[in-house]
Amino acid sequence: MRFTEGNKSLIGRERNETLEIKAWGKNAFRVRATQYSKFSEDDKALEYVEPEDVEVNVVWDKSEIRNGKLRCVVDFRGWLTFYNGDKQILKEYYRSFSGANEHSPSMKIFAREFKAMQGGDYSITMRFEANEDEKIFGMGQYQQPHLNLKGCVLELAQRNSQISIPFYVSSYGYGFLWNNAGIGEVMFGANYTQWNSKCSEELDYWITVDDTPKDIIRNYTEVTGRAPKFPENALGLWQCKLRYRTQDEVLEVAREYKRRGIPLDVIVIDFFHWIRQGDWSFDPEYWPDPKAMMDELKEMGVRCMVSVWPTVDRKSVNFPEIMDRGLAVRTERGSIQCFDFQGDTVIYDATNPEAREYIWSKCKENYYAHGIDMFWLDEAEPEYSAYDFDNYRHYTGPALKVANSYPKLHAKAFYDGLRGEGREDIVNLLRCAWVGSQKYAALVWSGDILSNFAALRDQVAAGLNIGMAGIPWWVSDTGGFFGDKNQEHFNELLIRWFQFSTFCPVLRMHGDRGPHDIPTLSDLDYGGGFSPTGQPNELWSYGEEAYTIMKKYLDIRLSMKDYISKIMDEASHNGSPVIRTMFYEFPDDSKCWDIKDQYMFGDKYLVAPVLYQGMTERKVYLPKGTWKSIHDGAEYSGNSEITVAAPLEIIPVFEKIG
Pairing of strands 599-601, 163-170: unpaired
Residues 6+ apart with CB under 8 A from 420: none
- Cα dihedral 526/527/533/537 (nearest 10): 150
As a whole number of angstroms, the distance between CA 653 and CA 646 comes to 10
Secondary structure class of 550 (helix, strand, coil): helix
Longest dimension (CA), the chain: 78
The residue from 349, 378, 458, 538 that is catalytic is 378
Active-site position among 222, 232, 448, 655: 448
**Cα–Cα distance for residue pair 156/182, rounded to 1 Å:** 8
Closest CA to 427 of 568, 290, 249: 568
Buried b (16+ CB within 10 A) or exposed e, 286-315: bbeebeebbeebeeeebbbbbbbbbbbbbe
Catalytic option among 64, 373, 381, 477: 381
Instruction: Compute how many other C-beta atoms are within 10 angstroms of the C-beta atom of residue 95.
Output: 18
Residue 42 annotated to the active site: no
Nearest CA to 495 out of 428, 445, 450, 545 is that of 545
Other beta carbons within 10 angstroms of residue 442's beta carbon come to 30
Alpha helices in 353-437 (DSSP H): 353-366, 399-402, 406-420
Spell out the alpha helix ranges (H) of 182-338.
213-224, 247-259, 290-299, 319-324
Q: For this structure, is 448 an active site residue? A: yes
Stated as kind and residue range, the H or E segment containing 573 is helix 561-574
Distant-in-sequence, close-in-space partners of 188: CB < 8 Å, separation ≥ 6:
130, 136, 149, 150, 151, 152, 153, 154
Tell me whether strands 579-580 and 153-156 are parallel, antiparallel or unpaired. unpaired
Instruction: Kindly report each contact of residues 196-199 with a partner whose C-beta sits within 8 Å and lies 24 or more positions away, as own/partner.
Output: 196/123, 196/124, 196/125, 196/126, 197/123, 197/124, 197/156, 198/123, 198/389, 198/400, 199/117, 199/120, 199/121, 199/122, 199/123, 199/398, 199/400, 199/401
Q: Is 378 a catalytic residue?
A: yes
Residues forming the active site: 378, 381, 448
